Chain A
Amino acid sequence: MNTRVKFSVGLLCLGFILALLPLSGSRSFNVKPQKLLSEMLGADTYLSVDQVAKFVISEDSSVQIIDLRSPEEFRAINIPGSINIPYSKLLDNDPSSILNNGKSRNIFYSNGDFDSNYTLAIARGLNMKNTFVMKGGLNEWFNTVMNSSFTGERISARENSLFETRSQAKKMFTALNSLPDSLKMKFIQSKHSAAKKLDGGCE
């Protein structure tokens, strides 16, 4: 192989590497826009508050519920078992360390619908497919779970099961959030360290 050919091959390789490098050193979405859009339009990216309530009462360790509100709002009230990552801080560090930690589902919630859906678009754009949104946020949680009541005369088995789930989730939510701040944070930390121990196997 003569020098000219070697030089050409070297230049070509370098060109390909440069062409495939991200255009800035910062993190950018790595999913194609059209693919991301079709994922975003799927109804399966939403979970209802009742579905989340079921995860809460079963203390399902394969699910990670992520509260996107400010630390102050999180300290005041939060869904039992949730962790706090304020939306504005999400991209300060690599979110994959939190979202790709072996949990089968990461469920985002905020007070309403905006922040959780922005976060979902970011997470899916960074190719983290195990991410979902609790539709309606904490406002919908209060509307459906905390304010649930039954006023009829007859109740079907399905309605009864739903009411029971809501009632248990409400009880857990009230118990956790009625604790004084210091105790509440200790309780949350102990829950998370217990979950880590379980994930890590026998100790």
Chain B
Amino acid sequence: MELFKRFKVVITLVLIVLILVVFRSTGINHFRNDAKKWAETSFRHANTIDPEQAKLLKGKSLIINLDKNTKLPLDIAGDLMDIPADSVLSRINIKTILNHNAGPVLLFSEEKGLSSRVWMILSQMGCKNLFILTSDTDNEVFKYKFRPDTMVN
């Protein structure tokens, strides 16, 4: 007790710092992961799956429809949640997503740009087993043939 009295200022300050560090380490209101590491699966496009591949994933899927006015056009077993992209980070939604440990989290949007942006944000926040559900998995394949002008040299 005598020791506590002598060092109460120091102990109080250390406690404040400790609380700050714990808040920073566990809070969800900021990114704290290595950007490259958490983007890595997207480099190989291993994070995009079609409905057939989704059926083969282990565990119970959490399927998130990011579109406001579109019903999920795909038939996949799992928990379906309609979460418009603008509220995906609301306290309840982000906790549901980050705490889903029963299986993969699948993001769906008709607009591929939207699902890929949300994927990157959630992934950087530490969401594991996160995929983009799309029937257009070869979206990054060039689909045309360029005909060179033979008169140019």
The residue from A18, A73, A121 contacting B116, defined by CB atoms under 8 A apart = A121
Q: Are B113 and A135 in contact (CB under 8 A)?
A: yes
Q: Is B74 an interface residue (CB 8 A)?
A: no
- Note all chain B residues with C-beta closer than 8 A to A40: 117-118, 121
Q: How distant is the Cα of A90 from the Cα of B10 in the complex, in angstroms? A: 45
Q: How distant is the Cα of A118 from the Cα of B122 in the complex, in angstroms? A: 12
Q: Are A26 and B152 in contact (CB under 8 A)?
A: no
- Note all chain B residues with C-beta closer than 8 A to A34: 29, 89
Stretch at the interface among A3-11, A148-156, A160-168: A3-11
| Interface set, chain A 93-130, CB cutoff 8 A to B | 110-118, 120-122, 125-126
The 10 closest A-B pairs by CB, nearest first: A15-B17, A121-B120, A112-B139, A26-B34, A29-B31, A178-B148, A178-B152, A88-B43, A91-B36, A117-B116
Q: Are B113 and A27 in contact (CB under 8 A)?
A: no
Binary contact readout A52-81 vs B (1 if CB under 8 angstroms, 0 otherwise): 000000000000000000000100110000
Binary contact readout B30-55 vs A (1 if CB under 8 angstroms, 0 otherwise): 11111111010011110010000000
Q: Are A111 and B34 in contact (CB under 8 A)?
A: no
Q: How distant is the Cα of A15 from the Cα of B15 in the complex, in angstroms? A: 10
Chain A residue, CB-CB nearest to B138 = A112
Chain A residue, CB-CB nearest to B30 = A32
CB-CB under 8 A for A16 and B17, given A115-B140, A121-B121, A178-B150: yes
Q: How distant is the Cα of A18 from the Cα of B24 in the complex, in angstroms? A: 11
15 contacting pairs across A/B (C-beta < 8 A): A4-B9, A8-B10, A32-B29, A33-B89, A37-B88, A40-B121, A91-B35, A116-B113, A117-B112, A117-B117, A118-B120, A138-B142, A139-B142, A178-B148, A178-B150
- Note all chain B residues with C-beta closer than 8 A to A84: none
Q: How distant is the Cα of A136 from the Cα of B86 in the complex, in angstroms? A: 22
The residue from A114, A121, A139 contacting B144, defined by CB atoms under 8 A apart = A139
Q: How distant is the Cα of A15 from the Cα of B125 in the complex, in angstroms? A: 24
Chain B residue, CB-CB nearest to A89 = B43
Q: How distant is the Cα of A26 from the Cα of B144 in the complex, in angstroms? A: 39
- Note all chain B residues with C-beta closer than 8 A to A24: 32-34
Q: How distant is the Cα of A38 from the Cα of B117 in the complex, in angstroms? A: 11
